[in-house]
Structure 1
């Protein structure tokens, strides 16, 4: 999620925010994995339907399970694509307003963010969310502060909160 990973805070060759032109770096891979999953679901669905048609109670039960699990996976993937699209729209809005977070924290020679600097940058972001918990911009910035601090789980949760507020 940090700018060094090509996320919304990434800079273009000129140092400014990257424009929306071209295909995002991760999109071809995500589409390829999704296509493979679709092929897998199609194959599994055929097997599940065959089990349902067998008339055997045990096979019918297994067939239902075989059909339900891929549907759950498809739902989770759709949820992630929706989040990614919303995060991109939020980043575009922030970039247009000149408020896109910049990853300028000091790093070790190996590229790791200095923990003390990340912790210091985190506090104002947390305070902004406490001050206005309905501000999607504050949650977006908090997500990137969590990411810099190495807490990817909370970063993702904060992005989900920001996206929910943004969609209102």
Structure 2
């Protein structure tokens, strides 16, 4: 039985809102182009670039999300999915020393010459636990690229 995807509904809702916004911007751009005025055409054409960029970014994020979920499913099936066992304060904050230790281990594994997507996935998990979302996403993109070529 497939496990529920908790983040799917909010992601779909946000995507729907972005699509509505993109449609609204695109219709304004088309209206400007249709004025026939050179300035309106220029501004309208520039405005139409925004929806194209947004659509590209949305597609890129959904593709990454799909690949990350496939990797997570594969790791879970193999019993290799990372589990957050880091020590926490009574307030729920991760203990810095424990996070640093886990991060060091994951980084060393990912930096090996023979490191594969699994090591990069684990490094992304360590980055996320350390609160570095930007590097976590980069590590996930690296993991997805390595898995695609494997």
When normalised by structure 1's length, the TM-score is 0.83
Q: Larger deviation: 32-41 or 55-64?
A: 32-41
Relative to 1, partners in 2 of residues 1:44 and 1:150: Cα closer, same or farther, differing over 3 Å? closer
1:79 aligns with 2:79: no
Secondary structure of 2:89's match?
A: coil
Q: Is the 8 A contact 2:34 2:41 kept in 1?
A: yes
1:52 to 22, 25, 33: 33
- Corresponding residue number in structure 1 for 2:109: 128
Relative to 1, partners in 2 of residues 1:42 and 1:81: Cα closer, same or farther, differing over 3 Å? same
Consecutive unaligned residues in structure 1, runs of 5 or more: 1-18
Q: Larger deviation: 128-137 or 77-86?
A: 128-137
Q: Is the 8 A contact 1:53 1:60 kept in 2?
A: yes
Relative to 1, partners in 2 of residues 1:27 and 1:147: Cα closer, same or farther, differing over 3 Å? same
When normalised by structure 2's length, the TM-score is 0.92
1:18-57 Cα shifts (integer Å, max 9, x gaps): x6333x1121121122222222222222221121121211
CA RMSD of aligned residues (A): 1.4
- Corresponding residue number in structure 2 for 1:160: 141
Q: Larger deviation: 130-139 or 97-106?
A: 130-139
- Corresponding residue number in structure 1 for 2:127: 146
Q: Larger deviation: 65-74 or 124-133?
A: 124-133
Specify which structure has the bigger relative contact order, considering alpha-carbon pairs within 8 angstroms and separated by 6 or more residues: 1
- For 1:2-151, list aligned pairs within 5 A: 20-22=2-4, 24-132=5-113, 134-151=115-132
Q: Is the 8 A contact 1:134 1:165 kept in 2?
A: no
Relative to 1, partners in 2 of residues 1:133 and 1:147: Cα closer, same or farther, differing over 3 Å? farther
